Amino acid sequence: MTDPADLRPVTAEEWPAFSRAMLEVFGDEPIDDFTEKVPATAELDRSLSLWSADGRVAATAGLYSRQLTVPGAVVPCAGVTWVTVSPTHRRRGVLTAVMRRQLTELHEQEREPLAALWASEGSIYGRFGYAPATLRGNWRGSTRRLGFRPGVDVGTGTVAPADADTYLAGASGVAEALRRWVPGVLDRDERWWRRSLRDPAGRRNGASALRFLLHREADGEVTGHAAYRVRSRWTDDGEADGTVLVDDVRARSTAGYAALWRYLLDLDLVRSAEFGYGPVDDPLRHLLADPRALHTRPLDGLWLRLVDVGRALAARRYPAPIDMVLEVRDPFCPWNDGRWWLRGHPAGAFCAPSEGDPDLVVDVDALAAAYLGGTSLGTLQAAGRVTEVSPGAVTQAATAFSWPVTPWCNDQF
């Protein structure tokens, strides 16, 4: 078994070898502006690497320092990234050592109370206490059927194309104003915005370069933005059959949101629309004359892990009062394993270890699934992940952990 002490941070000089080894495991081609130069978002002091006896990189991992919107608050969150293990080192406990090292250091250094990741495979991270906390809608539809219902107001603003720099300046302000309202959304400074706009030709999969839109009110204020691609296609009969591939759509008003979508759905030579990372309950459905025209196939989005149960539960808000003892089962992080007294309400919360009898018994990954308000504790009880000890405790806790805004994240890392 691999000893977590064998892992160490990678240096800037080692970055090319480290990044190339990582991309090789992912099956990706090297990218010059990524593999030859340390990215601006990289935090090498929070990276981990394992080197074989012959000087090859056998495992990679890293953390990003992010801020995650949770119900009623914004909380520091460690973004887990770059996780790979070479086929030469499989089944030696390498991944377990990486996960243990990351979580132990976060706890011992009292860093972020939450950790999050995007899972390359759905069967890997549950055993380390992670669970899907957001869903992506993965929706599509025919533009001919995605007409708006009568009376939808698109306002008096205008939608117009923008270059990347103009888009960044306008979109960043809109996103910052909105991000505190939607659980699951991550902060983006300029480094992260630049990263989101990177558009290597080799990763377009036959689609156009990324294109940008801004919605402005009559006074010139930017109140909405969208990013998209177009994949052109023609049928054997010479008919246009293109697809608009939507990357992002956000607006500060319903009219601005509707106007952006109207532009996207009215593009010439486009017959279908796809929004893979859109919210699972996108408001667009409720703008349509035919809601059935929007087809969704939800997939897991951001996976979450409660690094420190007490700090994590105390950090969020609860729309209904809760006062109970939770017995948390967490064999991977023993400092969480035990009973926690949680008192919460809309204005704040308190959570501390307890010797009292439990009202609920819950697996730590189930608690992570419910943390952002997107998965009901009642559903998790039906799956055997929550045990009710005090009558009515599941109903009370499910109500308190819910949130009126469905969690969503499209910021991959």
- Which residues belong to the annotated binding site for acetyl-CoA? 83-85, 91-96, 120-121
- Determine the Cα–Cα distance for residues 65 and 47; give it in Å rounded to an integer: 12
User: Is 125 part of the annotated catalytic residue set?
Assistant: yes
* Residue 387 parent element (H or E): strand 386-388
Determine contact, residues 393/360, Cβ cutoff 8 Å.
yes
- Using DSSP, state whether 371 is helix, strand or coil: helix
Q: At what angle do helices 164-178 and 190-197 cross, to 10 degrees?
A: 120
Distances (CA, A) of 295 to 141, 285, 356, 358: 6, 10, 48, 42
Lookup: tokens for 2:
């691999």
The DSSP code for 148 is: B
Q: How many residues can be counted in the chain?
A: 413
Determine contact, residues 211/161, Cβ cutoff 8 Å.
yes
The tokens 């036959």 sit on which residue? 206
Give the residue ranges of the annotated binding site: 83-85, 91-96, 120-121
Of the residues 18, 34, 125, 371, only one is catalytic, namely 125
> Which amino acid belongs to residue 374?
G
User: Is 413 part of the annotated catalytic residue set?
Assistant: yes
The tokens 């608050």 sit on which residue? 73
Determine contact, residues 336/370, Cβ cutoff 8 Å.
no
Active site residues: 125, 413
